[in-house]
A and B are shown apart, each in its own frame.
Chain A
Amino acid sequence: DTAVSQTPKYLVTQMGNDKSIKCEQNLGHDTMYWYKQDSKKFLKIMFSYNNKELIINETVPNRFSPKSPDKAHLNLHINSLELGDSAVYFCASSQDLAGGQDTQYFGPGTRLTVL
C-alpha cells in the first residue's frame, strides 16, 4: 500500500498549457504539502494545507493553485506553463502541525518538463 501517491509520475507538456498533478495519502494525516525541487536538487516548500485549509502559501506565482477536496487529497493546478516551471514536484504529508516537528512523508514526485 503506497502511503503518499502522486499522478502522473512524468508530465511533458508545451509552454502555455494548463496541467494538474494529483496527490493522495492514506496515512490519515491532517497536513499535506507541495514542494518543488529544481534542477540543482534544491527543495523548497510551495503550499501546505491542514484539514483542507491553506496554511502556507510561499511566494509562488498565481499560476499555481492548490486545491484540497478533503484531507487525504491535495492537487496542484498550474496555468499557462512556463519553461521555468520544469522541476520535480513532491507532495508530502504529516500527522498534524505539532509545532512543525512532525515527520513529513513524501510521495514519489512528479517530473514536469515544459517544452
Chain B
Amino acid sequence: AQKITQTQPGMFVQEKEAVTLDCTYDTSDQSYGLFWYKQPSSGEMIFLIYQGSYDEQNATEGRYSLNFQKARKSANLVISASQLGDSAMYFCATGGGTSGSRLTFGEGTQLTVNP
C-alpha cells in the first residue's frame, strides 16, 4: 500500500517569494508516479506537476518544480515567485506500482499568499 504524508496543514508566504510544500511518501514499489494538484477555493482539482520514480531530473512546469529525493522518499513542491492566485489547497499524490491506477492523496496543505 502507498501512503502520502503532508506535515504542513497551513503555510504562509509573502507575494513574490518562493515556498516549499513538503510531501513524503511510503511505498515498496520500484515504479510509481508522484503528482501535485491545486484546489482553489472554487473547488476544482488542477493538475500541476508529475515526477516518475525513474526520472533522474526534477520535474519543472513554469513556476512549479518538484524537488524529488528518492532515497528520502520526499517529493516537495517548490513554487517560485508566489502570486496571490497561488492561495489554495495543495495535494500531493502517488500512483502506480501495486496500487495500479488509483491515486493515493495526502491530507493537503493550505497555502496563503500575503500581499
Contact = CB atoms under 8 A, between A and B. Distances in A.
Interface residues of B, number: 27
B92 to A, nearest CB: 11
* Nearest 10 interchain pairs by C-beta: A101-B33, A100-B96, A106-B45, A100-B101, A101-B96, A43-B105, A100-B95, A45-B102, A100-B100, A99-B96
B90 to A, nearest CB: 11
Contacts of A63: none
Contact of A111 (B43, B99, B108): B43
A55 B105 contact: no
Contacts of A106: 37, 44-47
Given A88-B43, A100-B33, A108-B43, A42 B102 contact: no
B101 A56 contact: yes
A31 interface: yes
Given A101-B52, A105-B47, A41 B89 contact: yes
A50 B100 CA distance: 12
Given A101-B33, A106-B44, 9 more contacts: A40-B107, A43-B91, A48-B102, A50-B101, A90-B45, A94-B101, A100-B102, A101-B95, A104-B47
